[in-house]
Structure 1
Amino acid sequence: MKKFVVLGNCESESPLGGKSNRCVVVAANVPILAHSLERTQRNWFARSNSPTDLIVQVGDYCFHLHKLAMASRSEYLNRLVFQRGSNRERAGDSLIIQLKNLPGGKKTFELIVKFCYGRKFDITAANVAPLYCAAHFLEMNEYLEQENLISKTESFLTYLILSSWRNTFRILKTTESISPWAKDLQIVKRCSEAIAWKTSSIPNASSLSCEDKEHLNAQASSINVVDNWWFEDVSFLRIDHFVEVIQSIRRRGIKPEVIGSCIEHWTRKWFSQVIFGLDKDTPKPITLQLHRISTECLINILPTEENSVTCNFLLHLLKAGVMLKINPELLCVLERRVALMLEKCRVPDLLVKNQGEKHSFYDVTVVLRVLRFYVCGLSSNHSAKPNIVARLVDGYLTQVARDENLTMESFKSLAEALPQNARYCDDYIYRAIDMFLKAHPNLTAEDRSDVCRKLEYHRLSHEARQHVMQNDRLPLKLTTEFVLLQQVNMATSMTSNGSNYRRTNTQTIMRVNTDLEKRQIKNAKEINMMRKDVEMIKSQLLEVNSCKIKLQKQFKRCIC
């Protein structure tokens, strides 16, 4: 019976940085002992007392080995070596076997060769996952040999996942190149569940290594938030592994707002500045296809609870989704979600930056999409408060109107997105219009009139009307109209006061006339007073009319 002896655990440098546990394995009583394993360019040779009779091709590399040494531990190789058939390739006395899609490639197969020939090698966090998958690929199970490579790697893999926070991430990182096998063999799931368990239990967990504790202390000092000490480590994961971790964390009952913040942190880390404008420190360029897939995955894993994600982050996701042309149904999901949040948003929540000098500083098209979606739902949402959203939009317009690159079409579309009755008054929209005209002094008179088309005299406060009549940035036609309306309003007010008095007296006379049979008019002075009032009103109306004619003549001269 052959035995494999674990020489012990010690510390070794990991390829991913830092120190990690390792398991040193040596086999005894192997069928063939190799004096040495030599490499010559792309060829490996197992030197022993007997000549090699097996050539295993892994990619561009050839391993010159012995059938007995390899087939005694791999059921897969055993079948290939001893199967009958005359169509097998040979090179002299050696049988040629090609191993296609071996997990881990030639580096992993080098370790497997060492294992089969009884030579020492280290199992570490950097190679345990590829070794475990390759051992399953080659069917190195207990049926052929006790404590075969599957069982050895399984034991050490379990130990690392359960005992070390950092090694769990190292293992996940190494599975990226062997993703299908790592997923089928539950390595990704086991690592994700271990991360979720430690996320929900740390810092109370006492089973952490000293290395992990030092690492987490460094994270805590840099982040200064109790709930998100693990964000930075999770943000290095690839999108598929990140999704798996988030789903495991959600099953652990972590607060939705913490999960939402983690997703936002990952997005800032990975998405390019061109699409998000969030972070200058981005990794290597990611293809548009990966961006598209990542965006769709992120939308699908967003927590649905209220206030679990910010409106600003959802708008950034919506912007990325539009640019990347993701699934339209997912775009509608984002639009609906932001629309439902508008009544609780602030102006900074709507600010999504653009990139490039030719574009406006803020992306107003993404806000316009949400506003149109909100307006479409007003008829079915009886609890909606459009006046609150109108105040928000007016504040947003005031903010973005200062940008000289903002087009008139974009400004008008935003200003007219909500129905007229959504605003109690036009004071705030007038302020935004004034800001826009100030930032765009080269607009033609026709364009300025078009921008101001939404302003109405009766919807402005007295202070706003006074400002309009003195504002030289507004089109002359508008200021003249406001002056005329102001004069008419004053005259009407004066007339109204007089009319009330006369109506009171007239009603008295009517009552007296209807009761002539009962009594007679004793005060003839009232009739004379009424006659004087009528004459005074006629003269006032003539004055107002003449003033109107003069203003119209002045307006025509200015136009000419």
Structure 2
Amino acid sequence: MKSDMLEFPSVDKATMKSNRCVVLPANVPMIAHSLKRKNQNWIARANSANDLIIQIGDSNFHLHKLAMVSRSEYLNRLVLTRANNIEDNTTTTTTIRIDNLPGGRKTLELVVKFCYGWKFDMTKSNIASLYSAANFLEMSEEIEQQNLISMTESFLTFLLFSSWKDTFCILKSCESISHWAKELQIVKRCSEAIAWKSCAIQNVQSKTNNPWWFEDVSLLRIDHFIEVIQLIKKRGMKSNLVGSCIQYWTTKWFSEVTLGFDHNVTPKHMTIKLHRVSIECLIKMLPIEENSVSCNFLLQLLKVGMVLKINDELLCVVERRVVLMLEQCSVQDLLVKNHGDKDSLYDVDVVVKVLQCYVCGMSSNHAAKLQTVGRLVDGYLSQVARDQRVKVESFKLLVEALPQNARDFDDNLYRAIDMYLKAHPYLTEEERENVCSVLEYHRLSQEARMHVMKNDRLPLKLSTQFVLLEQVNMSWTMASNGSYCQRTRTQTNIRVSKDFNRQMNHEIKVMRKDVEMMKSQLLDLNTCKMKIQKQLKICTH
């Protein structure tokens, strides 16, 4: 594209040079020899004296009214207003202060060059601010042909359609002129270009996991990222790709440094507020389709949301999504890392919170699925039990999170508890009793019971209880076996000598003795039981 006013170069793919537009204004009302800088003053040298001063920040531009007002309706209006208000007609220099020009001093310098007819470059880095400044100064075709608005509009459109990288550069440059970039829809146009191109890329790529364009999108600020994601979703991109893109961006921005709040230093209030708003926006943007985001990512969002104290309703939304995925999760999905030096390696509390939510919403006919979650939790317990920084309270809450019917036997639960005690040898007797309080004799296999009775890591109370219960169990077994043998022998003798009355009477006597013996055994067992209860009371007190 080329005209008397603009020179657009072609894209050089070999050297990957940035697109730029060389502006060569054809018709200018006056020519200045140069624009020189002296300290904070920019002075346009011409045959006539300077009669216009534009102040911006701490800089002063000494210019000429004719050159500037012939291109800008805004400046023309201000100059006329100042002239009407000046009582002393001998004053010919008009001073105007502009505090909110998009792009500030650097952009005004380009505008001045344009108005005086000097050659300058429009690039991907300055096009957004220059286009905004042109609109701010009302430099339209109505006041002068081939004015700056039409110039910048043409080049902006050219970049958006021709270059993926330049589009991101433009969007990044909009951060410093947010109001005007939004008002003039520069952000929307850039976002539409990115959405259109990324959807086109999806259609030609076979691999869908973390496409290369994720990295470019991850550099965007949260508000610009939201705009891009909304437009991508409207264009019908696959939900798993949208979810992966959100996950990629979140991992990039909420890094270890961001999330590792130093408890000795109070973070700036605005920083935390910005993070809170960002997380809430991300949760609202998540695709609703099943498996569009991973369980682990949702747990990370939940963790950050709890730290930042985001809206409770949004926290519940994330919790419910994780709950619905639990039965298909692996142990790796539950591993959410902490980043503090004093924290445990993995965040146990966030998993406890989800499990409690799962149990609250569990239906009565959920037994098979519940046992699936039980195996998952036992595996997770074994993973986190080795961490010396996992607190007793957190570990116990995790152990007690599921009801008993989540497990047929508690052998895996016992192994995890034993691993925890081994990794935490400094625990007091009371703390060990607290951790082991869920273990019950009848819910362990014989092998596990034997291990309990020999395990010196367990609290003495539990080991003693298991020894006594084992003795009772053995007594019951012996009594049952003895009675069975006697009954078997009696029945055999009766069948053999049923024709002999004398033998029958003898067997009846034997049977009576058996009954008396069983009564005696029952009495002994009852006495043993009372002794055990008494010993347990003594241990408790």
Q: Which residue of 2 aligns with 1:411?
A: 395
Q: Which residue of 2 aligns with 1:310?
A: 294
Q: Which residue of 2 aligns with 1:328?
A: 312
The one-letter code matched in structure 2 to 1:6 is L
- 1:81-480 to structure 2, matched below 5 A, reads 81-83=79-81, 85-86=84-85, 92-202=91-201, 228-276=211-259, 287-378=271-362, 385-480=369-464
CA drift at 1:30: 1.1
Pair 559,240 (structure 1): closer, same or farther in 2 beyond 3 Å: closer
CA drift at 1:442: 2.4
Tell me, in whole angstroms, the C-alpha distance in 2 between the residues paired with 1:139 and 1:36. 25
Pair 263,306 (structure 1): closer, same or farther in 2 beyond 3 Å: same
The one-letter code matched in structure 1 to 2:40 is R
Tell me, in whole angstroms, the C-alpha distance in 2 between the residues paired with 1:19 and 1:88. 55
The one-letter code matched in structure 2 to 1:300 is K
The worse-fitting range, judged by mean Cα deviation, of 152-161 and 487-496 is 487-496
Contact conserved, 1:88 with 1:96, CA < 8 A, in 2?
no
CA drift at 1:293: 2.4
The worse-fitting range, judged by mean Cα deviation, of 354-363 and 459-468 is 354-363
CA drift at 1:165: 0.6
List per-residue Cα deviations over 1:262-302 (Å, max 9, x = no partner): 1121122222314547xxxxxxx993333222222221211
- Report SS of the residue matched to 2:390: coil
Tell me, in whole angstroms, the C-alpha distance in 2 between the residues paired with 1:38 and 1:381. 84
Pair 65,553 (structure 1): closer, same or farther in 2 beyond 3 Å: closer
Pair 333,485 (structure 1): closer, same or farther in 2 beyond 3 Å: same
Q: Which residue of 1 aligns with 2:263?
A: none
CA drift at 1:130: 0.8
Tell me, in whole angstroms, the C-alpha distance in 1 between the residues paired with 2:456 and 2:165. 66
Tell me, in whole angstroms, the C-alpha distance in 2 between the residues paired with 1:547 and 1:470. 22
Q: What are the ranges of 5 or more consecutive residues in structure 1 without an aligned counterpart? A: 206-219, 278-284, 508-519
Tell me, in whole angstroms, the C-alpha distance in 2 between the residues paired with 1:304 and 1:180. 31
CA drift at 1:447: 2.2
Alpha-carbon RMSD across the aligned residues, in angstroms, is 3.5
Tell me, in whole angstroms, the C-alpha distance in 2 between the residues paired with 1:358 and 1:7. 60
- Report SS of the residue matched to 1:56: strand
The one-letter code matched in structure 2 to 1:186 is Q
Pair 435,536 (structure 1): closer, same or farther in 2 beyond 3 Å: same
CA drift at 1:493: 3.3
Q: Which residue of 1 aligns with 2:6?
A: 6
1:57 aligns with 2:38: no
Tell me, in whole angstroms, the C-alpha distance in 1 between the residues paired with 2:388 and 2:19. 60
Pair 521,289 (structure 1): closer, same or farther in 2 beyond 3 Å: farther
The one-letter code matched in structure 2 to 1:298 is L
Pair 503,274 (structure 1): closer, same or farther in 2 beyond 3 Å: farther
Contact conserved, 1:11 with 1:22, CA < 8 A, in 2?
no
- Report SS of the residue matched to 2:9: strand
- Report SS of the residue matched to 1:385: helix
Tell me, in whole angstroms, the C-alpha distance in 2 between the residues paired with 1:203 and 1:258. 9
Contact conserved, 1:378 with 1:384, CA < 8 A, in 2?
no
Tell me, in whole angstroms, the C-alpha distance in 1 between the residues paired with 2:89 and 2:396. 78
How many pairs does the alignment contain?
Answer: 519
Q: Which residue of 1 aligns with 2:495?
A: none
- Report SS of the residue matched to 2:228: helix
- Report SS of the residue matched to 1:97: strand
CA drift at 1:557: 12
Pair 486,382 (structure 1): closer, same or farther in 2 beyond 3 Å: closer
Tell me, in whole angstroms, the C-alpha distance in 2 between the residues paired with 1:91 and 1:462. 110
- Report SS of the residue matched to 2:85: coil
- Report SS of the residue matched to 1:454: coil
- 1:495-506 to structure 2, matched below 5 A, reads 495-496=479-480
CA drift at 1:144: 0.8
CA drift at 1:34: 1.1
Contact conserved, 1:4 with 1:25, CA < 8 A, in 2?
no
List per-residue Cα deviations over 1:417-470 (Å, max 9, x = no partner): 222333322212111111111112222222222221111111112222222122
CA drift at 1:137: 0.7
Q: Which residue of 1 aligns with 2:36?
A: 38
The one-letter code matched in structure 2 to 1:61 is S
- Report SS of the residue matched to 2:18: strand
Q: Which residue of 2 aligns with 1:210?
A: none
Q: Which residue of 2 aligns with 1:528?
A: 509
- Report SS of the residue matched to 1:144: coil
CA drift at 1:225: 6.6
List per-residue Cα deviations over 1:85-112 (Å, max 9, x = no partner): 4269999521111112111111111111
Tell me, in whole angstroms, the C-alpha distance in 1 between the residues paired with 2:450 and 2:151. 86
The one-letter code matched in structure 2 to 1:295 is I
Tell me, in whole angstroms, the C-alpha distance in 2 between the residues paired with 1:374 and 1:459. 23
Choose which of 57, 66, 69 in structure 2 pairs with 1:68: 66
Tell me, in whole angstroms, the C-alpha distance in 1 between the residues paired with 2:340 and 2:457. 29
Contact conserved, 2:421 with 2:432, CA < 8 A, in 1?
yes
Tell me, in whole angstroms, the C-alpha distance in 2 between the residues paired with 1:80 and 1:275. 47
CA drift at 1:483: 2.1
The one-letter code matched in structure 2 to 1:430 is Y
- Between the aligned residues of both structures, percent identity stands at 64
Tell me, in whole angstroms, the C-alpha distance in 1 between the residues paired with 2:377 and 2:258. 24
Contact conserved, 1:89 with 1:96, CA < 8 A, in 2?
no
Q: Which residue of 2 aligns with 1:516?
A: none
Q: Which residue of 1 aligns with 2:466?
A: 482
Pair 181,35 (structure 1): closer, same or farther in 2 beyond 3 Å: same
Pair 381,6 (structure 1): closer, same or farther in 2 beyond 3 Å: farther
CA drift at 1:227: 5.3
Q: What are the ranges of 5 or more consecutive residues in structure 2 without an aligned counterpart? A: 261-267, 492-500
CA drift at 1:540: 5.0
Pair 559,132 (structure 1): closer, same or farther in 2 beyond 3 Å: closer
Pair 495,274 (structure 1): closer, same or farther in 2 beyond 3 Å: farther
